[in-house]
Structure 1
Amino acid sequence: MHTVWKGAISFGLVHVPVKMFSATEDKDISMKYIHKACGTPLSYVRTCQHCDQAVEWEQISRGYEYEAGRFVLFEKEELDALSEASKEIKILDFVDLKEIDPIYFQKTYYLAPGDTGSNAYSLLLQAMRESGKIGVAKVSIRSKSSMAAIRVIEDCIAMETIFYPDEIRPISQVPNLPEKPAVNDKELTMAKMLIEQLSTPFEPGKYTDDYREKVMNLIQHKVAGEEIKVAPEAPKTNVIDLMAALQASLEAVKPSSVPTEAAEPTAAPKAKSRKKAKETVS
């Protein structure tokens, strides 16, 4: 893996030299824009609309639009001088992971011991593992300051960059949320039964990107010069009645033990097999 950052984790007066590696990779299928007339890939060109000419990187400054059409300009050196670009992941506090809502998480990095400090790395890893705590830290990567969560994944210290609180939009901005949700008790019982039947330990290996697989399959057929025919999806039944939809869903996941009367749901053992429900709620 490519090293994206070098520095140290600090907590108290302890410094742990580390190297940072990206823990995830983008597997989106990359495609270029092509000129249909001649089949040539199109290039991205930075063009000045006023001068009507292409602009090279060395001719570009950064600007903040404080009024419509009016900018204050910055050179790269000015912004670099203002950044907190230290080579330190400074742990400020230790907290329980469950206290951080997933909405805060951005990107995961693996941290490996630096060329020195392997003992300190192992000490921090084992101390966090046995305490059950994670570190809340501040770090600067590529001139951008970020909060971070330092935690243990198997035998590795990992860092999750997280949003600052003022970067999270308040729920109050979401339109059309019900002020006083009215829930039917019988429907609620059925819904909870359906959740129970669909509950299982998280096994990430069983989830795949179906769209990416279809696109790659399509690419392979096109490269081979084969004629492509995309099969239409099977029609779906539009179930309008909520109770009927819940009942049908329960029957699909455990056909042998669903109560026959939706109005009188009873507890049932977990299903041994699952089938995809054809009914959806409109």
Structure 2
Amino acid sequence: MRAIWKGALTFGLVNVPVKVYSATEDHDVPLHQVHAADGGRIRYQRICEIDGEVVPYSEIDRAYDDGERTVILTKDDFASLPSERSREIDVVEFVPSEQVDLLTLDRAYYLEPDSASPKAYVLLRKTLEQTDRTAIVRFSLRQKTRLAALRVRGDVLVLQTLLWADEVREAAFPALDESVKISAKELEMSAALVDSFASDFDPEEFADEYQQELRTLIEAKLEKGDALDTSETFGAQDEGEAGGEVIDLMEALRASVEKSRASREGKTDAAASGSSSKKKADDKPAKKKAAKQEKAS
């Protein structure tokens, strides 16, 4: 695992240096979108709505729109915020563990001691276990101030982010306002049904059947030869660039737009010639698609 954040966990005068790791990962089969007609990959571009140009990620800022005005916030603006500069996980309070509503639990992270001696880390872990309390903490991660629950899982401290109170919707259903009578016999039979399903929970006994079937389907297609050569799905990209960052593609597209603009302005004959060559190259995929459709019909 790779640490995504490092700093210090603080409560009172105690300082516990820690590294933070994502505690969970996605096990879904990685899929991407393709053109159904020829299997060509679908790419997404960041287009400026004013000039129509493709914008590299390095030139993108964020903004707030109140419906009439737009406030642009630069990377320097975010860096100037106090919470963003903080590298501390501050304990706000210790609460009874049962008071933490499961509905508010969000992403989980492992904390690893990041010092020569893990004594302070172990002390906090044992204290939480002995008191049966959960630490409520504040910290900053990825330009957001987070509220989180710090608890114990085995020998490790786990940080689990919490939804803010206004992020949890109120459950108000008119049907539940009506008075409902449950007889003793109905409650007894329902309890008997629950008892018939009673068991100790073991997550290892459960599996994502959909993902298993999806992998089986993909393997079957591969065995049948029902697949394309991956290099054929990238169009004009060089095979060596196929797995590159999308931002590299954006840079290439932006350079092409600038070259085309220079050609239209008649700056040089060489630029005009380059633009003409690019247009012919751009026409190839369309001609290829038209030929396939004509052949199919």
TM-score category by the smaller chain?
A: 0.7 to 0.9
Which structure would you say has the larger Rg? 2
CA shift for structure 1 position 117: 4.3
Q: How does 1:71-110 map to 2 (within 5 A)?
A: 71-85=70-84, 86-110=86-110
Kindly state the Cα deviation for residue 190 of structure 1 after the two structures are TM-superposed: 2.2
Pick from 167, 175, 178 the counterpart of residue 176 of structure 2: 178
Contact kept? 1:45, 1:54, Cα under 8 Å: yes
- Residues 181 and 40 of structure 1: CA distance in aligned 2, closer, same or farther (over 3 Å): farther
Asked if structure 2 preserves the Cα contact closer than 8 Å seen for 1:83 and 1:144, the reply is: no
For residues 177 and 134 of structure 2, what CA distance do their matches in structure 1 show? 36
Distance in 2 between residues matched to 1:106 and 1:116, nearest whole Å? 31
Once the 2 structures are TM-superposed, how far is the Cα of residue 51 of structure 1 from its aligned partner? 2.2
Match of 2:121 in 1: 121
Distance 1:177 1:65 in 2: 38
**Across the two proteins, how many residue pairs are aligned to each other?**
224
Normalising by structure 2, what TM-score? Answer: 0.71
**Structure 2: distance between partners of 1:226 and 1:197:** 48
Contact 1:83 1:143 in 2 (8 A): no
Distance in 2, matches of 1:90 and 1:183, equals: 48
Question: Does 2:76 correspond to 1:65?
Answer: no
Q: Deviations over 1:127-167 (max 9, x none)?
A: 21122211111011112111111111111111111111122
Q: Which residue of 1 aligns with 2:229?
A: none
Change (3 A) 1:21 1:225: same
For normalisation by structure 1, the TM-score amounts to: 0.74
The answer as to 2:55 corresponding to 1:55 is yes
* Equivalent pair of 1:16/1:117 in contact (CA under 8 Å): no
Q: Is the 8 A contact 1:17 1:117 kept in 2?
A: no
Q: What is the aligned-residue identity percentage?
A: 32
Q: What corresponds to 2:211 in structure 1?
A: 212
Give unmatched runs, 5+ long, in structure 2.
Answer: 227-297
Counterpart in the other structure of 2:14: 14
Q: CA deviation at 1:37?
A: 2.6
Aligned partner of 2:155: which letter?
Answer: D
Contact 1:10 1:88 in 2 (8 A): yes
Q: CA deviation at 1:49?
A: 3.3
Q: Which amino acid aligns with 2:123?
A: L
> Deviations along 1:221-263, whole A, 9 cap, x unmatched?
1111179xxxxxxxxxxxxxxxxxxxxxxxxxxxxxxxxxxxx
Q: Give the helix-richer structure, 1 or 2.
A: 2
AA matched with 1:182:
V
Judging changes above 3 Å, is the alpha-carbon distance between structure 1 residues 90 and 44 closer, same or farther for their aligned structure 2 residues?
same
Computed over aligned residues only, the root mean square deviation of the Cα atoms, in angstroms, reads 1.8
1:178 aligned partner, one-letter code: L
Pairing of 1:90-169 with structure 2 (within 5 A): 90-169=90-169
* Structure 1: tracts of 5 or more residues without a match: 228-282
Q: Deviation per CA, 1:25-65, whole angstroms, max 9, x where unpaired?
A: 01122211111233221112111234222112233221112
CA distance in 1, matches of 2:21, 2:158: 9
Residue matched to 1:199: 198
Specify the SS of the correspondent of 1:53.
Answer: coil
- The residue matched to 2:17 in structure 1 has which SS? strand
Letter in 1 for 2:106: Q
Deviations 1:167-208 (A, max 9, x none): 211123xx5542124244243332222112112111111111
